[in-house]
Amino acid sequence: MATGMVTAEAPPAGRGQAAAAEPLLAAADIVKVFGKLTALNGAYLTVAPNEFHGLIGPNGSGKSTLMKCVAGAETPTTGSVRFDGRDITAASPAERARAGLSLKFQITSVLPALTLYDNILLALQARTSLAGLVFSRTRGVLHDRVMGMLEQFRLADRAGEPASALSHGQQQWLEIAMALAPEPKLLLLDEPTGGMSLEERRVTGELLQPIRAHCSLVIVEHDLDFIRDICDRLTVLDQGSVLDSGTVQHIQASPQVQEVYLRRA
Amino acid sequence: MANETVSPEALPRASSAAPAKARRVLPIIEIVVLAIALVVPFVLEDYLTIFATRVLILALFALSFDLVWGYGGIMSFGQALFFGCAGYGVALLGRDLDVTSILLVLPAATLIGLTAALLIGGFLLLGRNPASVIFVSLGTLTGSYAADRLARGWYYLGGQNGIPSIPPMSLGQHDIVEGLEFYYLALGILIVCYLLCRFLVRSQFGLALTGLRENEARITFFGYQVQHLKAIVFALGGAIAGLSGGLYAFHEGFVWPNILGVVFSTQVVLYVLFGGSGTLIGAIIGAVVIEAASFWLSNTFQEIWPIILGVLLLLVIMFRPAGLISLIVSERERVGSFGQPGRRGR
C-alpha cells in the first residue's frame, strides 16, 4: 500500500521546513472565510507524486472547502496553492484542469441525457482545439481511449445507453472514469463511495488501485475502512485546521486524532 | 492508461439489458417539412406565398435563437436586436448608398448581426466571472429595449415610422421581388443555414455545447473555456439573426423600431418554446405553426384571436414543456449521440 511517503510528518512548504523534493501539490496556510464563518484557518495539504492521500475529519471540519480551494471552485481568502511546480492560487478551474488536476464532485455529476460513451468523450475532448471540435477531428482518434476507460470501469457493455440508466454506484464509477479520462496528474475525489453498497465500495477500491502508477489521489471520505485500505497518508482536519498529517499508521496511533475525531465518529 | 485493466474476474460488470434500437424520427420530420416547403407555393395563392416567405424568414430567425438557447443554453431575450440592427443596416445601405446587390447586402446583414452579437456577447459573457442566466437575460433584454427606444427617437432612422420604401434586392440588373423568387431564395438560405447548424450541433463542438447546456460546472472542471464556447455560439446566433433581418427588410420593403424591440424578441422565444428547443426543426415548426395559426385565427376570430392563441400557447407550454416536437421525438433522440460505441482498434 505505502508506495508514497512513509515518514510520519511532512510539513508543507511555507511552514518553515522545506520538503526534500517538491511535492505535486502543496496547499499552504489556506484561510477561507465566508462572511462571519471561518471555514478554513491555516489548513495545509501536501501530496507527493503517485501518493494516495486521504482527507478526513468530522462534518463541518472543512474537508470539502479545502478540496474546492485546490480544485478552483473556491478562491482562498489567503494562502497559496502550488501544483506541479506552478502557483495556481489564482488560476481558474479550467486552467487547473488543463494543468493536470481533475475533480469528481461530491454530488454525482454525470450528464444523464448523454450516453456513457459521450460522457467519456466529452471529458476527453476538452483539450481539442476549436477547429478540431467543429470538424470532429479527434472523434476517431479518441475512440480507443473512450472504450478503454469504459472497459477499465466495467461499463463497456453499456456504452450506448444513457447515463441515467445506470445505478447510483455505476454513475459514480462513470464519473470517476470521466475524471480520469484526460490522464490527470492529480485526481480529487469528494466522497466517491457515498450511497454505494459494501460490494460497490470494495470494487471502487479495486478500480482505483491501477491509477497509482501515473496519478496521485486526494480523497475525502467518511468510510474510514475504505480510506485505510487505499491511502498512503492521511490529513485530519478539525474546525478548519489540520489536526495531524502522516501515514495511516501514524494517524491511527495519534492520541489527538483519536480524541477529537475517531471517538466522535 | 487506458490499457490497464483491473482485477478482472473479481469485478462485477455493469449488467446490461441491450437497449432496443430506437427508430429515428427527426430525419423523417425534416424530409416531410422540406417536401411541404418545396411544393407550398404551387398550391397557394400569390398573397399567401408572400405570407409564407415571411414565415420562412421568421423561421430562420427562430433557428438562430434555437442555436443560442436550445444548444448553448443562453437565454437571450434580445435576439431581435441583431435581427433589427441588420434590417436597419441594409435598409440604410439601400436608401442612402443605393447598395442593393444580394451579394453585398446579405453578407453585410450577416456581418452586422455577428458584430452586434460579438459586442453584446463579449460584454455579457466574457467577464472575469461566469455570467448568470439572469444577468444575460436582463442584459440582452435591456439591449433590445434600448435599441428600440433609440430607433424611435432618431430622426435619421425614421423615428417611429422607421425606413419605408427600401429599394428591392437585386442580382445584377434583376430585381428580386416578393413572390415565388423571394420564396425560394428564403427557402434556399434557410436550408443552407439549417444544414450548417445541423453539422455544428452534431459535431464534437455540439457535444461540448450539450455539456455546457446540461451541466456547465462539470465541463468547466474538464478544462473547457465555457465562456468562449458561449460567446462563439451567441455570435453565430447573432449572425443568423442578422441574415434573417436583412432578408426581412428587403422582403417587407420597410423596417420599423418594433423589429428591434422586446416584443419581437419574446416572439422568437415563443416560436422555439412552442415548437421545441434543441432540435432545430422544432424551432422552424414553432415559427410556422404560430404564424399560420395567428393568420388563420385573425381572419376567423377577429376580436378574440390573441386570446385563443395565448391559451393554445399556454396549453402546449404547460403540458408539453419540451414543445410540439416532443409529441413524436423522444428526449434521447433530441439529445442525440455523438460517438459510435464499438470495439477498440477499429
Per-position DSSP letters for B82-139, written without gaps between them = HHHHHHHHHHHHHHHH---BHHHHHHHHHHHHHHHHHHHHHHHHSSSSPPPHHHHHHH
What sign does the dihedral B275-B281-B283-B285 (CA atoms) show? Answer: negative
Contact A118/B6, CB-based, under 8 Å? no
Interface size, chain A vs chain B, as Cβ–Cβ contacts under 8 Å: 171
Q: Which residue of A has its CA nearest to B345?
A: A144
Residue A87: what are its φ and ψ, rounded to 5°? -85, 115
Distance (Å) from the alpha carbon of A253 to chain B's nearest alpha carbon: 31
Q: How far apart are the C-alpha atoms of B106 and B102, rounded to whole Å?
A: 6
Q: Using pLDDT thresholds of 50, 70 and 90, give the confidence band for residue B127.
A: confident
Q: Provide the ipTM.
A: 0.85
Q: Radius of gyration (Cα) for chain B, nearest Å?
A: 22
The x, y and z cell numbers of residue B326, run together, are 416532443
In the predicted structure, residue A265 carries a pLDDT above the cut 70: no
Distance (Å) from the alpha carbon of B1 to chain A's nearest alpha carbon: 7
In the predicted structure, residue B6 carries a pLDDT above the cut 60: no
The x, y and z cell numbers of residue A27, run together, are 496547499
Residue entry with cell 425614421: B158
Q: How far apart are the C-alpha atoms of B37 and B284, rounded to whole Å?
A: 11
Residues of A in contact with B4 (CB under 8 A): 152, 210, 213
Q: Which residue of A has its CA nearest to B232?
A: A130
Contact B218/A152, CB-based, under 8 Å? no
- Per-residue confidence (pLDDT) for residue B96, from 0 to 100: 94
Using an 8 Å Cβ cutoff, are B170 and B176 in contact?
yes
Q: Which of A209, A230, A57 is nearest to B6 (CA)?
A: A209
Residue A41: what are its φ and ψ, rounded to 5°? -135, 80
Q: How far apart are the C-alpha atoms of B338 and A115, rounded to whole Å?
A: 9
Please count the other Cβ atoms lying within 10 Å of the Cβ belonging to residue A75.
Answer: 14
- Per-residue confidence (pLDDT) for residue B13, from 0 to 100: 54
Q: What is the pLDDT of residues A79-118, one digit of tens each?
A: 999 999 999 999 999 999 999 999 988 888 899 999 999 9
Q: Using pLDDT thresholds of 50, 70 and 90, give the confidence band for residue B11.
A: very low
Using an 8 Å Cβ cutoff, are B328 and B25 in contact?
yes
Residue A219: what are its φ and ψ, rounded to 5°? -130, 130
The x, y and z cell numbers of residue A225, run together, are 475502512
Mutate to test the interface with B, among A133, A142, A173, A230 (most CBs of B within 10 A): A133
E-strand ranges in A105-215 read: 186-190
Chain-wide mean pLDDT for chain B?
Answer: 90
Residue ranges matching CATH 3.40.50.300 in chain A:
1-109+185-265
- Per-residue confidence (pLDDT) for residue A12, from 0 to 100: 43
Find all residues with CB under 8 Å of A16, minimum gap 6, and list them: none
Chain-wide mean pLDDT for chain A?
Answer: 86
In the predicted structure, residue B129 carries a pLDDT above the cut 80: no
Distance (Å) from the alpha carbon of A19 to chain B's nearest alpha carbon: 29
Q: How far apart are the C-alpha atoms of B323 and A23, rounded to whole Å?
A: 54
Q: What is the pLDDT of residues B150-181, one digit of tens each?
A: 999 999 999 999 999 899 999 999 999 999 99
- Per-residue confidence (pLDDT) for residue B1, from 0 to 100: 37
In the predicted structure, residue B100 carries a pLDDT above the cut 70: yes
Of A109, A149, A153, the CB nearest to B218: A109
In the predicted structure, residue A148 carries a pLDDT above the cut 60: yes
Q: Which CATH superfamily is domain A1-109+185-265 in?
A: P-loop containing nucleotide triphosphate hydrolases (3.40.50.300)
In the predicted structure, residue A19 carries a pLDDT above the cut 60: no
Q: What is the pLDDT of residues B176-192, one digit of tens each?
A: 999 999 999 999 999 99
Contact B6/A155, CB-based, under 8 Å? no
Q: Using pLDDT thresholds of 50, 70 and 90, give the confidence band for residue A262.
A: low
Q: How far apart are the C-alpha atoms of A20 and A11, rounded to whole Å?
A: 11
